[in-house]
């Protein structure tokens, strides 16, 4: 994970410099300080750790403890009290200038920064089973976390554990650039840690974060997922969904409110292609493509909660980065993804996913002139940004693609055709973008 400087510390240093400038430089600060905009509301979220526990410390602010254990500004700001013997300054009559910038102003600004940061934080994320090997450092840690897949190569059955990871990890193919894995796995497959004498898994499944159960499928044969459930998490940057699949049974029903770590199901091996030995939890963390999926596909019994309407992100990387940085935001997380292609849409209509997740917007000051949208995707089809453009695109088309010396269809689940620096949307790619932009 790339080293990142804590935003609160940087902001605190800036405010400290501003304070010292106003206190000892003879300047007066405006009493009408601009309010820091919040990226989202934390209403309805359970209380998380304090600002100090979230990574905000007094490092870089010698002698300062701006927040107490509850994240509130303290009144003890040692070393920053203005000199009481300093000569008084002449009163300033302007409306926007009144009192000198003092310790109370600094405390207020630091409290606002802390509140804005907390509003962006994803609270109370836990692992969904008792298998914690994803964080292990030993050579066998990850093989003990991910469930293997059966893979037959030249008639020989191999069982690579890497097939249980997120991403393009399945269906290898020989290409001009070497072996390429062409099948996308949109979640992770987590091994059980407890079994009974008959080799049935005994692991309980826990809610990844606070949320509400929005769907439970109790029919093993109604989906490749087998029995599965979906939980909606109203995080500050919009609604996100976790999907828990191949269950033996669900402990909860639709509408149930859950907290992080609540038991929601028992691990099993229901669904396509599984047996008892390969029992595991399939976990996804996803965007919802459209909240109108139930209207666009009449034969879809799962409606909005079909796996085809959920765009899975790299949940393993999310868990690992959140472990290192509990102040992680989804914007920061998606900034770690590599763009693979960009499209221009044929519609000026604002996509529903952008309404639900405004943080995906880029250069939105140009929205009033929008004729089309430029959408940036990674290989897995996760939308990284939406930018309004003035160009009137007559059709949905690829306008940029990462240059690779093989067929783009191998690397994009068949959504693109072409190779090198040229690519076009296939029929499945066009359907995917149309679904995302609700062109149906």
Secondary structure (3-state) at 219: coil
Residue 161 and residue 38 share a domain: no
What is the number of other CB atoms lying within 10 angstroms of the CB of residue 173? Answer: 13
CA 354 to chain centre: 14
Instruction: Please give the backbone phi and psi of residue 307, each rounded to the nearest 5 degrees, phi first.
Output: -60, -25
Residue 178 and residue 50 share a domain: no
- CA dist 100 and 105 (Å) reads 9
User: Which residues is 374 bridged to in the sheet?
Assistant: 344, 387
Q: Which domain holds residue 29?
A: 1-121
Residue 327 maps to a domain: no
Helix (H) or strand (E) holding 172: strand 167-175
Residue 389 and residue 288 share a domain: no
Residue 83 maps to a domain: yes
- CA dist 300 and 305 (Å) reads 10
Boundary (domain end) residue, out of 121, 152, 182? 121
Residue 242 tokens read as 């976790």
Residue 38 maps to a domain: yes
Secondary structure (3-state) at 61: coil
- CA dist 176 and 325 (Å) reads 39
CATH number at residue 148: 2.70.70.10
Residue 166 and residue 103 share a domain: no
Residue 403 and residue 346 share a domain: yes
Residue 277 and residue 183 share a domain: yes
Residue 227 and residue 145 share a domain: yes
Pairing status of strand 397-401 against strand 341-344: antiparallel
Boundary (domain end) residue, out of 93, 121, 149? 121
- CA dist 310 and 290 (Å) reads 9
- CA dist 226 and 224 (Å) reads 5
Residue 35 maps to a domain: yes
HEC letters along 66-134: CECCCCCECCCCCCCCCCCCCCCCCCCCCCCECCCCCHHHHHHHHHHHHHHHHHHCCCCCCCCCCCCHH
Residue 369 maps to a domain: yes
Of the candidates 305, 312, 217, 319, the residue with the CA atom closest to the CA atom of residue 268: 217
Pairing status of strand 383-389 against strand 397-401: unpaired
Residue 303 maps to a domain: yes
- CA dist 290 and 306 (Å) reads 11
Helix (H) or strand (E) holding 21: helix 7-24
Number of domains in the chain: 3
Residue 360 and residue 252 share a domain: no
CA 302 to chain centre: 24
Residue 260 maps to a domain: yes
- CA dist 143 and 146 (Å) reads 6
Q: What is the pLDDT of residue 110?
A: 77
Residue 173 and residue 116 share a domain: no
Residue 68 and residue 171 share a domain: no
Burial grade of 67 (CB within 10 A; 0-12, 13-18, 19 or more): buried
Of the candidates 54, 107, 51, the residue with the CA atom closest to the CA atom of residue 78: 107
Residue 192 and residue 301 share a domain: yes
What ranges make up the beta strands (E) of 3-68? none
Residue 88 and residue 157 share a domain: no
Note down pLDDT in tens along the chain; length 440 residues.
Answer: 433 444 544 555 555 555 554 554 444 434 333 222 223 333 333 333 333 332 323 333 233 333 334 434 333 333 333 444 544 444 444 444 455 667 777 777 777 766 665 555 567 899 999 999 999 988 889 999 999 999 887 788 899 999 999 999 999 998 888 999 999 999 999 999 999 999 999 999 999 999 999 999 999 999 999 999 999 999 999 999 999 999 999 999 999 999 999 999 999 999 998 999 999 999 999 999 999 997 655 578 999 999 999 999 999 999 999 999 999 999 999 999 999 999 999 889 999 999 999 999 999 999 999 999 999 999 999 999 999 999 888 899 999 999 999 999 999 999 999 999 999 999 999 999 999 999 87
């Amino acid at each position: 994970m790339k080293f990142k400087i804590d935003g609160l510390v940087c902001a605190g240093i800036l405010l400290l410099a501003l304070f010292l400038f106003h206190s000892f430089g003879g300047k007066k600060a405006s009493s009408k300080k601009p309010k820091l905009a919040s990226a989202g509301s934390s209403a309805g979220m359970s209380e998380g750790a304090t600002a100090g526990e979230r990574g905000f410390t007094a490092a870089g602010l010698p002698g300062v403890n701006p927040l107490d254990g509850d994240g509130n500004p303290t009144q003890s700001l040692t070393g920053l009290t203005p000199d009481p013997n300093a000569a008084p300054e002449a009163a300033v009559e302007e409306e926007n200038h009144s009192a000198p910038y003092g310790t109370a102003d600094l405390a207020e600004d630091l409290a606002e920064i802390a509140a804005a940061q907390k509003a962006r934080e994803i609270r109370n994320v836990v692992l969904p089973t008792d298998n914690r090997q994803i964080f292990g450092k030993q050579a066998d840690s990850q093989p003990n976390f991910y469930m293997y897949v059966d893979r037959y190569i030249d008639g020989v059955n191999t069982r690579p554990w890497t097939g249980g990871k997120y991403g393009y990890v399945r269906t290898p193919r020989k290409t001009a650039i070497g072996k390429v894995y062409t099948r996308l796995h949109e979640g992770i497959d987590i091994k059980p840690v407890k079994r009974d004498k008959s080799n049935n898994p005994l692991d309980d499944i826990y809610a990844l974060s606070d949320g509400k159960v929005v769907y439970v499928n109790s029919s093993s044969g109604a989906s490749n997922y087998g029995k599965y459930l979906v939980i909606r998490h109203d995080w500050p940057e919009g609604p996100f969904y976790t999907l828990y699949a191949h269950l033996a049974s669900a402990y909860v029903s639709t509408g149930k409110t859950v907290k992080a770590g609540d038991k929601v199901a028992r691990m099993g091996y229901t669904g396509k292609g599984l047996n008892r030995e390969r029992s595991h939890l399939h976990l996804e963390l996803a965007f919802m493509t459209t909240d109108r999926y139930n209207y666009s596909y009449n034969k879809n019994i799962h409606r909005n909660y079909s796996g085809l309407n959920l765009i899975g992100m790299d949940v393993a990387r999310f868990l690992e980065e959140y472990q290192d940085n509990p102040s992680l935001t989804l914007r920061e997380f998606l900034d770690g993804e590599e763009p693979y292609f960009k499209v221009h849409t044929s519609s000026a209509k604002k996509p529903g996913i952008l309404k639900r997740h405004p943080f995906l917007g880029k250069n939105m000051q140009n929205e009033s002139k929008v004729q089309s949208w430029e959408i940036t995707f990674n290989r897995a089809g996760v939308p990284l940004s939406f930018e309004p453009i003035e160009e009137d695109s007559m059709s949905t088309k690829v306008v940029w693609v990462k240059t690779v010396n093989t067929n783009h269809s191998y690397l994009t689940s068949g959504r693109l055709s072409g190779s090198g620096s040229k690519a076009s949307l296939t029929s499945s790619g066009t359907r995917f973008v149309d679904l995302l932009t609700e062109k149906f």
